[in-house]
Structure 1
C-alpha cells in the first residue's frame, strides 16, 4: 500500500467505487483527520490542507499537535515468550527494547 507524507504525517489512500472517489485518513493520530479527492492530485491537495488546518487549529487553540508514531507502544505477548526474550536480551547484553526493535526491523525489511 502506498501512503501520502506531509510534515511528518502519513495518510492512507483508499478508493470507493460506489462514489468514484479517492479518500483517506491521517494515520497514527487519535482524532479523525480525513481527506478526499476525485484524482490523485486532488487527494494529495486535500490531505495537505487537512494537515495544515489541523496544525493551524491546534495553534489557535493553544494545543500541542499530536505527534504521530511516537516510537513507543505496548506489546502484549505470552509470559513464556516474554521470559525467553528477556533472557536472550540479557545473554546478548542488549535491552529488551533493542531486541524487540531488531526483530521488528527484520520483519519490516522482509515485507
Structure 2
C-alpha cells in the first residue's frame, strides 16, 4: 500500500514522474507537511525531518497536531443501492450503520 507510518503519524506516498521522486504527505494533521526523496530509505528520513518541523511549529503555536474527527460523515448513494444495503443489513440482523461500519473495518488496514 502507499501509506508510510512515521512516529505514529501516517503519510500517503505517491510517485511524481515529472520530477522522478517519491512524495509523502502526512494526513490527519492540522496543517500541511510533505516531503520528497528518490529512495524509500531517504523518503523515511525526509519524512522524519518534515514531521519534526511540523510538530515543533505546532508546539510553538500551541496547536494540536492531530486533526480531530467526529466519527460522522455523510455518504450519498443511489436509491437502489440504499435499498439493497438496508436489505442486507436487515438480513444480518443489524442497522445499516452497524453493518457498513463492520464492512469498512474489514477493508481498512493500518499495518501496510
- Gap change, CA 1:106 and 1:81, over 3 Å in 2: same
Deviation at 1:75, TM superposition (A): 1.4
Higher RCO structure, 1 or 2 (CA under 8 Å, sep 6+): 2
Question: Contact 1:58–1:65 (CA<8 Å) still a contact in 2?
Answer: yes
- Gap change, CA 1:49 and 1:70, over 3 Å in 2: farther
Number of matched pairs: 109
| Partner Cα separation in structure 2 for residue 12 and residue 92 of structure 1 | 34
The range that moved more, 83-92 or 59-68, is 83-92
What SS does the aligned partner of 1:13 have? strand
Deviation at 1:51, TM superposition (A): 1.8
Deviation at 1:79, TM superposition (A): 3.7
- Gap change, CA 1:22 and 1:52, over 3 Å in 2: same
The range that moved more, 23-32 or 79-88, is 79-88
Normalising by structure 1, report the TM-score: 0.68
Cα-Cα RMSD: 3.1
Normalising by structure 2, report the TM-score: 0.67
Is 1:32 the equivalent of 2:51?
A: no
Question: Contact 1:27–1:68 (CA<8 Å) still a contact in 2?
Answer: no
In the alignment, structure 1 segments of 5+ residues that lack a partner are none
Match of residue 52 from structure 1: 52
Q: How far does the alpha carbon of each residue in 1:45-97 deviate from its partner, in whole angstroms, 9 at most, with x for none?
A: 11122222222211211111133777543211134433553465456443332
Question: Contact 2:12–2:27 (CA<8 Å) still a contact in 1?
Answer: yes
